[in-house]
Amino acid sequence: MRQNISKKMFQKAEIIVFKVGSSLIVDSDGETRDYWIDSLAEDIRDLACLGKKSVIVSSGAIALGRKILGFGVNDKLTLSQKQAAAAVGQIKLCELYRNILKIKRIKTAQVLLTRENANNEKTFLNATNTLNALLAMNVVPIINENDTISTEEIRFGDNDKLSALVSQMVDADILVLLSDIDGLYTNDPKISKKAKFVPLVKEINENIEKMAAPTKSALGTGGMASKICAAKMCVAADCSMVITTGAELYPVRRLIQKGRCTWFVPGDTK
């Protein structure tokens, strides 16, 4: 059933937003995963050949900046050090995407957003117009939160919510959350043998939200909870959302063909 749903969703989609987590950009040693980015670029090129437009919301700036500035992967950084790492790493992040996508003859652009941009009507509309203009010119926007000026009080907090907002801005048909989680379970599968996989969600009710309740594992707060929040934002805007692992190469091809995933689809009432 998942295969048929994924194939059908991508066939009818015109605009697709991809959220890419830091662990897909940088490995545990702080090295860039160029080969994985190249496989995603291949997928995006294939979609472009079918007339579909893509947007990438990518984490990874701070992780890349850590290595450049000599910080260890597990070093605890102050806010100013994180912002400095973001400033240095953002250049490297966009350079990675630009160089790899350029080989596929795909143009890219960098767009940095903050929660203040979203909360201000004028800047929100300006950003929306810019993104839509880029898509009209067949440019793939590479979007990230502007960590160099954001503080804990005004941050989106994670790129799940930012990617959902971007999906609203460009009137996307699909938001693809690529991370280390392959979908939604009734319980945390790392601590419960009774956890069952949920391939399709047509309504985000109390039971669905309980599945993402905070736990001591990576699937708790900041993980599945933020993804459910993003799903709410998407379906409210008539955009479907899918959660799937991005660990393997060619994530879109894999998703369409046989990939394990959870789809959140809009209901009858928007």
Give the HSE-up count for residue 210: Cα atoms under 13 Å, Cβ half-sphere: 5
Judge whether 245 and 177 are in contact, CB under 8 Å: no
Write out the binding residues for substrate: 59, 147, 159
Quick: pLDDT tens for 49-58: 999 999 999 9
Measured CA to CA, the distance from residue 48 to residue 24 in angstroms comes to 22
Write out the binding residues for ATP: 19, 179-180, 221-227
pLDDT at 2: 46
Judge whether 240 and 264 are in contact, CB under 8 Å: yes
Judge whether 88 and 50 are in contact, CB under 8 Å: no
Across 7-11, 34-38, 112-116, least confident range = 112-116
Beta-carbon contacts of 221 under 8 Å, excluding residues fewer than 6 positions away, are 214
Domains of the chain: 2-264 (3.40.1160.10)
Alpha-carbon distances of 257 from 6, 250, 265, rounded to whole Å:
8, 11, 19
Paired tokens of 174: 């699909």
Quick: pLDDT tens for 158-198: 789 999 999 999 999 999 999 888 899 988 777 878 889 99
Measured CA to CA, the distance from residue 74 to residue 241 in angstroms comes to 32
- Alpha carbon 79 to its chain's center: 23
pLDDT at 214: 55
Report the predicted TM-score, pTM, of the whole model to 2 decimal places.
Answer: 0.91
The residue type found at 39 is S
pLDDT at 156: 59
Quick: pLDDT tens for 220-251: 334 788 999 999 999 999 999 999 999 889 99
Write out the binding residues: 19, 59, 147, 159, 179-180, 221-227
Measured CA to CA, the distance from residue 258 to residue 256 in angstroms comes to 6
